């Protein structure tokens, strides 16, 4: 069941339930729907089988106080049902964090990497076929969460290269940018975690597949973040090797190639032009978000209620207005308020600092992509992966303590 959960991490197959509050100006909005995903069923049974350990994991005064603050936000939100639904989602994400902590103790590194490789290859195959087909494939891929789309689908993500317009591949994701961020996090996680060095073949295949998926998504933010992080890792490796007194083999051409090849590829993929109004749209959403924060500085509009708070503002791009603000920090403070959001951040500051210190490059992925998009807070696959990866990262703390005690 745990192996199946890993393989289905990129899936968004589920049942969407739409209510009156799920519509804005008569348009049905997925972000305002209540959804039951196939992954939710797997998560439920995984947590049920480990119920006692889960309760022990969640049982603390800090956790209790954290949810008390969240409950205040829900009581004062624009829509109580929608906020309550997102509270359940938050509890589920903490459960996924717990699952991440236990995963490597159950599956071990090789099986864990095998699960990641399986879904990387599935997504790579699907993305390749979508580019060739210039649309979705459906069939069995529908049951992995692939949505139906063609080149004529309204608001579909397109790019243009050398005068040729084409669809940016979606895989089983809601948007190519979401796909890019997902596999950028996989790339950095597998590349930087030393626990995976015992299975170099699997590790190398995952790094290659996830790198290709980042580039073919044509997400400029993700590609630039990929280049920054890769260059930083190579520089760090060079500095560490120069400081070591013992002699060791250092393949300098290999390190140069690690940076040079992605930079050459980026010259091709970054030339593709997308929506010419993307900057204007994002600035408009940011302006709306700042207005929401100004009007609701204490507790915000409520968990998951951002679009309900934004609907009163006029827009030059009506369909685009049904999108959350493309900035994690503005979205966070819009829904939770400066005061309540600040208290929650202060409450978990030590845990966050510990995880960031453990792997700064993972945090850099979230910061670089999150400054220009919202999917780490709003889209199911990205949220699950984020908490799952950081749960796995947290497990290394306990493993290290066990080693030191021995």
Tens digit of pLDDT at every position of the chain (406 positions): 999 999 999 999 999 999 999 998 888 999 999 999 999 999 999 999 888 888 888 888 888 999 999 999 999 999 999 999 999 999 999 999 999 998 888 888 899 999 999 999 999 999 999 999 999 998 899 998 999 998 888 878 888 887 888 899 999 999 999 999 999 999 999 999 988 988 899 999 999 999 999 999 999 999 999 999 998 888 887 777 666 654 455 566 666 677 777 787 777 787 777 777 788 888 889 999 999 999 999 999 999 999 999 888 877 776 666 889 999 999 999 999 999 999 999 999 888 888 888 889 999 999 999 999 999 999 999 999 999 999 998 876 555 444 444 4
Name, in order, each residue with C-beta under 8 angstroms of 397's C-beta and a sequence gap of 6 or more: 354, 358
Tokens 């950081």 locate to 390
Tokens describing residue 364: 């850099």
pLDDT at 279: 84
pLDDT at 378: 94
CA distances from 232 to 223, 359, 364 (A): 14, 13, 11
Tokens describing residue 126: 């699907």
pLDDT at 406: 41
Identify the DSSP state of 198. G
pLDDT at 225: 94
What sign does the dihedral 217-218-221-227 (CA atoms) show? positive
pLDDT at 239: 75
Q: What are phi and psi of 162, to 5 degrees?
A: 55, 35
Q: Are strands 158-161 and 34-37 parallel, antiparallel or unpaired?
A: unpaired
**Distance in angstroms (rounded) separating the CA atoms of residues 124 and 169:** 10
The burial class, CB within 10 Å (0-12 / 13-18 / 19+), for 308 is: buried
Name, in order, each residue with C-beta under 8 angstroms of 267's C-beta and a sequence gap of 6 or more: none
Q: Where are the domains positioned within the chain? A: 145-274
**Distance in angstroms (rounded) separating the CA atoms of residues 24 and 81:** 16
Q: How many CB atoms lie within 10 A of CB 238?
A: 14
DSSP calls for 276-302: TTHHHHHHHHHHHHHHHHHHSTTT-S-
């Amino acid at each position: 069941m745990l192996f199946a959960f890993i393989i289905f991490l990129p899936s968004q197959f589920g049942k969407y339930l739409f209510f009156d509050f799920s519509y804005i100006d008569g348009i049905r909005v997925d972000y305002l729907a209540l959804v039951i995903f196939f992954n939710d069923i797997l998560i439920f049974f995984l947590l049920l089988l480990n119920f006692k350990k889960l309760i022990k994991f969640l049982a603390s005064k800090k956790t209790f106080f954290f949810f008390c603050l969240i409950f205040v936000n829900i009581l004062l939100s624009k829509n109580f049902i929608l906020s309550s639904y997102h509270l359940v989602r938050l509890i589920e994400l903490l459960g996924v964090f717990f699952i991440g902590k236990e995963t490597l103790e159950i599956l071990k590194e090789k099986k864990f990497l095998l699960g990641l490789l399986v879904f990387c290859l599935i997504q790579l195959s699907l993305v390749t076929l979508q580019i060739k087909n210039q649309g979705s494939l459906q069939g069995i891929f529908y049951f992995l969460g692939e949505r139906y789309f063609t080149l004529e689908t309204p608001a579909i993500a397109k790019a243009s290269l050398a005068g040729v317009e084409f669809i940016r591949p979606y895989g089983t994701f809601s948007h190519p940018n979401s796909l890019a961020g997902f596999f950028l996090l996989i790339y950095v996680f597998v590349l930087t975690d030393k626990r995976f060095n015992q299975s170099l073949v699997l590790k190398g295949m995952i790094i290659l597949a996830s790198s290709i998926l980042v580039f073919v998504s044509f997400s400029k933010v993700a590609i630039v973040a990929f280049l920054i992080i890769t260059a930083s890792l190579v520089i760090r490796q060079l500095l560490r090797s120069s400081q070591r007194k013992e002699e060791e083999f250092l393949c300098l051409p290999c390190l140069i190639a690690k940076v040079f090849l992605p930079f050459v590829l980026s010259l091709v993929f970054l030339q593709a032009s997308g929506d010419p109004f993307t900057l204007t749209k994002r600035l408009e959403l940011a302006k709306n978000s700042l207005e929401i924060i100004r009007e609701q500085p204490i507790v915000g509009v409520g968990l998951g209620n951002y679009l309900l708070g934004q609907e009163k503002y006029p827009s030059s791009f009506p369909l685009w207005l049904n999108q959350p603000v493309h900035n994690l920090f503005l979205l966070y403070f819009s829904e939770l308020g400066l005061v309540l959001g600040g208290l929650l951040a202060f409450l978990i500051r030590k845990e966050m600092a510990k995880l960031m210190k453990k792997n700064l490059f993972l945090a850099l992925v979230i910061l670089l992509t999150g400054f220009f998009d919202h999917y780490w807070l709003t889209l199911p696959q990205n949220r699950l992966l984020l908490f799952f990866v950081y749960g796995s990262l947290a497990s290394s703390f306990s493993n290290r303590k066990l080693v030191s005690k021995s």
